[in-house]
């Protein structure tokens, strides 16, 4: 097998250039898909037979929760690759995921609370799904805090990578919490095996939002990872050439 | 239009959720761009300083 792509990916100037070139290809579809998904979800989709128009929160809540878990998984896998293969760009990638993931965990928790109030009668309960998503936020904050607290960048990379990998165990707990324990949170409608349990007119905008949020995450990571690479490589000649031009 | 805005009585839940999420998206776009341009400006300053010395 030809592994040159792997080594090229591991080269900071190469990733810096590729990320810059790819970013617009993610950014524009992101804007279009999220606009379409919001229009479809808030205007076109029919009201739910139980929750009326209140169910429309799903179009911002579920994609935010999806992004929060996708960002964590990406962060932990990149951190793992950084530990195993000592790839600097992998640590840069992991560090780029954390603030994005943390913000969308806040979005998932906040929209969930706003949804909980009319449906459950309360903003918050110490339910397995809600609690494990809150733990996810603390993992992100712990990861960023640990990085900020260690001055030597390489030690910060290694220590935070261990935290990220250990915390990965929380990702399936968030996802399966509604099936493993008796949860107040409704079961997944889309992210499960077998057919989705919601109708096509409701499902289509939701799928558009999932794709939109996935591309949004990619676009944000591509912008942030370029900054991370510049910070880590500031001593090298290629950076001097890139920023001078 | 007012039907749409009232969200079948769920306006006080639906609209803050949408505003919160869209706000976090916009904030993340701005924060990512700022993070990159700060790193870029910092690297540029460094190059200028090295050339001056």
pLDDT digits (tens, 9 = 90+) for A88-119: 999 999 999 999 999 999 999 999 999 999 99
Number of domains in chain B: 1
Long-range contacts, stretch A34-38, CB < 8 angstroms, 24+ apart: A34/A209, A34/A212, A34/A213, A34/A216, A34/B25, A36/A205, A36/A208, A36/A212, A37/A63, A37/A205, A37/A206, A37/A208, A37/A209, A37/A212, A38/A205, A38/A209, A38/B18, A38/B22
For residue B45, tell me if it sits in a domain: yes
For residue B11, tell me if it sits in a domain: no
B27 contacts on A by Cβ (under 8 Å): 103
Residue-number span of the structural domain to which B37 is assigned: 16-52
Percent of chain A with pLDDT over 70: 95
Q: Are residues B10 and A118, on separate chains, in Cβ contact within 8 Å?
A: yes
Q: Quote the minimal CA–CA distance from B1 to chain A in Å.
A: 11
For residue B44, tell me if it sits in a domain: yes
pLDDT at A1 over 70: no
For residue B2, tell me if it sits in a domain: no
ipTM of this model?
0.94
Q: Are residues B18 and A216, on separate chains, in Cβ contact within 8 Å?
A: no
- The mean pLDDT of A58-69, rounded to a whole number, is 97
pLDDT tens digits along B16-30: 999 999 999 999 999
Confidence grade of residue A198 (pLDDT, cut at 50, 70, 90): confident
Considering only CB atoms, which residues of chain B are within 8 Å of chain A?
A: 4, 7-10, 13-14, 16-18, 20-22, 24-25, 27-29, 31-33, 35-40, 42-44, 46-47, 50
Domains of chain A: 22-244 (1.20.120)
* A42 interfacial to chain B (CB closer than 8 Å): yes
The better pLDDT of the pair A35, A236 is held by A35
């Amino acid at each position: 097998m030809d592994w040159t792509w792997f080594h090229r990916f591991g080269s900071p100037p190469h990733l810096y250039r590729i990320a810059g070139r790819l970013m617009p290809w993610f950014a524009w579809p992101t804007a279009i898909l999220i606009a379409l998904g919001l229009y479809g979800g808030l205007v076109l989709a029919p009201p739910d037979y139980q929750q009326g128009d209140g169910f429309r929160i799903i179009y911002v809540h579920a994609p935010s929760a999806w992004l929060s878990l996708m960002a964590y998984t990406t962060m932990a896998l990149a951190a793992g690759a950084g530990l195993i293969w000592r790839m600097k760009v992998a640590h840069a990638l992991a560090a780029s995921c954390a603030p994005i993931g943390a913000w969308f965990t806040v979005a998932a928790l906040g929209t969930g609370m706003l949804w909980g109030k009319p449906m459950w009668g309360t903003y918050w309960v110490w339910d397995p799904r809600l609690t494990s998503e809150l733990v996810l936020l603390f993992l992100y904050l712990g990861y960023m805090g640990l990085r900020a607290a260690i001055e030597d960048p390489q030690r910060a990379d290694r220590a935070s990578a261990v935290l990220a990998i250990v915390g990965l165990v929380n990702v399936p707990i968030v996802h399966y919490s509604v099936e493993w324990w008796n949860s107040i949170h409704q079961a997944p409608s889309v992210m499960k095996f077998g057919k989705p349990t919601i109708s096509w007119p409701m499902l289509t905008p939701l799928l558009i939002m999932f794709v939109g949020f996935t591309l949004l995450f990619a676009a944000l990571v591509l912008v942030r990872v370029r900054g991370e690479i510049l910070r880590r490589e500031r001593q090298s000649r290629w950076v001097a050439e890139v920023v001078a031009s | 239009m007012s039907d749409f805005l009232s969200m079948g009585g769920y306006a006080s839940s639906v609209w803050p959720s949408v505003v919160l999420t869209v706000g976090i998206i916009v904030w993340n776009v701005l924060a990512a761009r700022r993070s990159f341009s700060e790193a870029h400006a910092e690297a540029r300053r460094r190059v200028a300083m090295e050339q001056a010395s």
